[in-house]
C-alpha cells in the first residue's frame, strides 16, 4: 500500500484546501487533495465574486479553475472521493474513504467547508426537486411566472431571492425578525426593498411545505402571535444558514464546538498533533474566499515545519548509531535547565557515549505523550529507537555518570 502514503493529505478542495495544496506542492511535500464532488467547493455556487484581490469581477467556477490549475502546476495529486472516517491517534494518520481506500499521511489539513442547513420540516425532503430548492442558479428558471417563497434573510437569501425575481412572478421572503430588519448587508437590503417583485413576511418561520407531488403552498407561523397561515406558491428556496461538514470527524476525538466547528490556533493547529483546520469549517470571524486561502497557506507552512521536525527527529534519534538520551525539559523551569547542563557535562566527561537530544515539553507535547513523560526533567535512553531504560533524576553528577556507564 506504499502508493497510498503521503506527506500531506488535504480533506476538501475548496479555496482553503486548494491554497494549502499550492503551498504543500511548492514545498515539495507529496500532497493529495481528497474532494467529493467538483473541485472548488462552495465557490462553484457563486455566480460572481467581486472581493477577491486582483480579480475585480470573476465567476466562482472560473476563479476555482485558476486555483486548481495552480495546484496542478506544483504536482499536487487529486482524488474524487469522500472521506468517511479517520484515525488520528498515531503519528501516521489514517484516512478512509467511500471508495474503500485507506490513505496514510504525516500531516492532515481539514478543509471540508460547510453545507446548507436543512430546516427538517414536514414536506421539505419529500418535495425536493418538486418545488423545494436550495440553489437559485440551478433552479430559478423552473419557476418562470410562478410564485416562490424564500426562507431566510442573510446575504445569500436576499441576493438569491433577487435573482429569482428575474424569473418568478413574485418572491415572498419569510423573515424571523421585526419589520424592516434583515440579516444581509445594507446594500442588498435596500435593493431588495426597492424590488417590486419582492414581498416580506416578518416575525415568521416556515412550519410545513404543502403539496402532493409538487409544492402547492407553505404553512407560515407567526412567532409573535403564534398563529399559522397558508400561502399558495409553486416553489420554496431554503437559505437558512450553513453547518460545518465535520460529521465524519465525530469519532476522531478532535475538539469541536457545539455546532461542529473546529477551534484552531493562529497556526491553524487543532488540539491533535499534525492535524490542522482551515477555511469555513473552523471557528473564525470571517468566512470568505480570501480568508479561506489565507488559512490554507498558514496551515501548509505549519504542516511543512511539523513534518520537517518529525523527519529530523526520526533521523537523529531513531536511526542514530549511538544510543540517544532523550532529555525532556521545560525552558521555564530552572531546575530542568540546570539538570540538562549536568547531563551534557556527565556525557562529555565519559567521552560522549550518547547523543543528547533535548525536547521542550511545552512545544513538543506529542513526543512527551509518545514516551509517556509526565514530569520534567526526565531522561529516556533509546537504542535505535527502542527505549532501554529511564534515568533516575539526580543533581549529583557522579550518580548520573554511574547510570550512564
Partner 1 sequence: MSLEQLNAIKFEEIIYDNLESCLVIFSRKDCHVCKEVVPLLEELQPNYLGKFGFYYVDVEEDKNLYQRFSLKGVPQILFFKEGEYQAKLVGAVDEDKVIDKIDEVLES
Ligand X SMILES: Cc1cc2nc3c(=O)[nH]c(=O)nc-3n(C[C@H](O)[C@H](O)[C@H](O)COP(=O)(O)OP(=O)(O)OC[C@H]3O[C@@H](n4cnc5c(N)ncnc54)[C@H](O)[C@@H]3O)c2cc1C
Q: By CB under 6 A, name the one of 287, 358, 364, 401 that touches ligand X.
A: 287
Choose which of 8, 9, 10, 14 interacts with ligand X (CB under 6 A).
14
Which residue has cell 478512509? 96
**In terms of CB distance, is 256 or 289 closer to ligand X?**
289
Pull the grid cell for residue 7.
506527506
Work out whether 67 is an interface residue with partner 1 (CB under 8 A): no
Binding part of the chain for ligand X, among 42-50, 70-78, 175-183, 337-345 by CB under 6 A, reads 42-50
Q: How many residues bind partner 1 (CB under 8 A)?
A: 23
Q: Which does 273 bind (CB under 5 to 8 A by kind): partner 1, ligand X, none?
A: none
Does residue 38 bind partner 1 (CB under 8 A)?
Answer: yes
- Tell me which of partner 1, ligand X, none is bound by residue 336, counting a contact when its beta carbon lies within the kind-specific cut-off of 5 to 8 angstroms: none
Determine the interface stretch with ligand X among 109-117, 205-213, 312-320, 325-333 (rule: CB under 6 A): 109-117
User: For residues 127-157, b (16+ Cβ closer than 10 Å) or e, as one string?
Assistant: beebbbbbebeebbeebeebbbbbbbbbbbb
83-122 residues near partner 1, rule: CB under 8 A: 98
Q: Which of 30, 80, 170, 219 binds partner 1 (CB under 8 A)?
A: 80
The CA distances from residue 242 to 44, 99, 127, 134, 308, in Å, are 16, 26, 20, 12, 36
**Number of C-alpha atoms within 13 angstroms, CB side, residue 135?**
11
Residue 354 binding: pick among ligand X, partner 1, none (C-beta 5-8 Å cut-off by kind):
none
Q: Which residues, other chains included, contact 183 with Cβ-Cβ below 8 Å and sequence gap of 6+?
A: 152, 153, 154, 155, 157, 177
Partner whose footprint covers residue 130, from partner 1, ligand X, none (CB < 5 to 8 Å by kind): partner 1
Work out whether strand 83-87 and strand 354-360 pair parallel, antiparallel, or are unpaired. unpaired
Binding to partner 1 by residue 215, rule CB under 8 A? Answer: yes
CA dist., res. 106 & res. 310, Å (int):
9
> What's the start-to-end Cα distance of the chain, in Å?
43
Residue placing its CB nearer to ligand X in the complex, 292 or 307 = 292
Q: Of 130 and 333, which has the nearer Cβ to partner 1? A: 130
Amino acid at each position: 500500500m506504499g502508493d497510498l502514503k503521503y506527506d500531506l493529505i488535504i480533506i476538501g478542495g475548496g479555496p482553503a484546501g486548494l491554497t494549502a495544496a499550492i503551498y504543500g506542492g511548492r514545498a515539495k511535500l507529496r500532497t493529495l487533495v481528497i474532494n467529493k464532488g467538483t473541485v472548488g467547493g462552495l465557490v462553484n455556487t457563486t455566480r460572481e465574486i467581486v472581493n477577491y484581490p486582483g480579480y475585480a469581477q470573476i465567476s466562482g467556477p472560473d476563479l476555482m479553475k485558476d486555483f486548481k490549475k495552480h495546484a496542478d502546476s506544483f504536482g499536487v495529486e487529486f482524488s474524487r472521493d469522500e472521506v468517511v472516517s479517520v484515525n488520528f491517534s498515531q503519528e501516521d494518520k489514517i484516512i478512509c474513504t467511500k471508495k474503500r481506500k485507506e490513505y496514510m499521511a504525516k500531516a492532515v489539513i481539514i478543509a471540508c467547508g460547510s453545507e446548507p442547513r436543512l430546516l427538517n420540516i414536514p414536506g421539505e425532503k419529500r418535495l425536493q426537486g418538486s418545488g423545494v430548492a436550495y440553489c437559485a442558479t440551478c433552479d430559478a428558471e423552473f419557476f418562470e411566472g410562478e410564485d416562490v417563497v424564500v426562507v431566510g434573510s442573510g446575504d445569500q437569501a436576499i441576493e438569491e431571492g433577487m435573482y429569482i425575481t428575474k424569473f418568478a412572478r413574485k418572491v415572498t421572503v419569510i423573515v424571523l425578525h421585526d419589520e424592516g430588519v434583515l440579516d444581509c448587508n445594507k446594500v442588498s437590503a435596500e435593493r431588495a426593498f426597492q424590488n417590486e417583485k419582492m414581498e416580506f413576511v416578518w416575525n415568521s418561520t416556515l412550519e410545513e411545505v404543502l403539496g402532493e407531488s409538487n409544492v402547492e403552498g407553505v404553512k407560515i407561523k407567526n412567532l409573535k402571535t403564534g398563529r399559522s397561515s397558508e400561502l399558495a406558491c409553486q416553489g420554496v428556496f431554503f437559505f437558512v444558514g450553513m453547518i460545518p461538514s465535520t460529521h465524519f470527524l465525530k469519532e476522531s476525538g478532535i475538539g469541536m464546538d457545539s455546532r461542529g466547528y473546529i477551534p484552531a490556533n493562529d497556526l491553524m493547529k487543532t488540539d491533535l498533533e499534525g492535524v490542522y483546520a482551515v477555511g469555513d469549517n473552523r471557528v473564525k470571524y470571517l468566512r470568505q474566499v480570501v480568508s479561506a486561502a489565507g488559512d490554507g497557506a498558514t496551515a501548509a507552512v505549519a504542516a511543512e515545519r511539523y513534518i520537517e521536525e518529525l523527519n529530523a527527529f526520526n533521523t537523529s534519534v531513531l536511526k542514530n548509531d549511538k544510543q540517544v538520551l532523550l532529555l525532556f525539559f521545560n525552558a521555564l523551569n530552572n531546575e530542568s535547565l540546570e539538570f540538562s547542563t549536568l547531563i551534557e557535562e556527565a556525557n562529555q566527561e565519559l567521552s560522549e557515549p550518547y547523543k543528547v537530544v533535548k525536547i521542550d515539553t511545552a512545544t513538543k507535547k506529542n513526543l512527551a505523550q509518545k514516551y509517556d513523560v509526565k514530569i520534567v526533567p526526565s531522561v529516556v535512553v533509546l537504542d535505535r529507537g527502542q527505549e532501554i531504560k529511564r534515568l533516575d533524576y539526580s543533581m549529583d553528577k557522579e550518580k548520573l555518570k554511574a547510570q550512564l556507564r
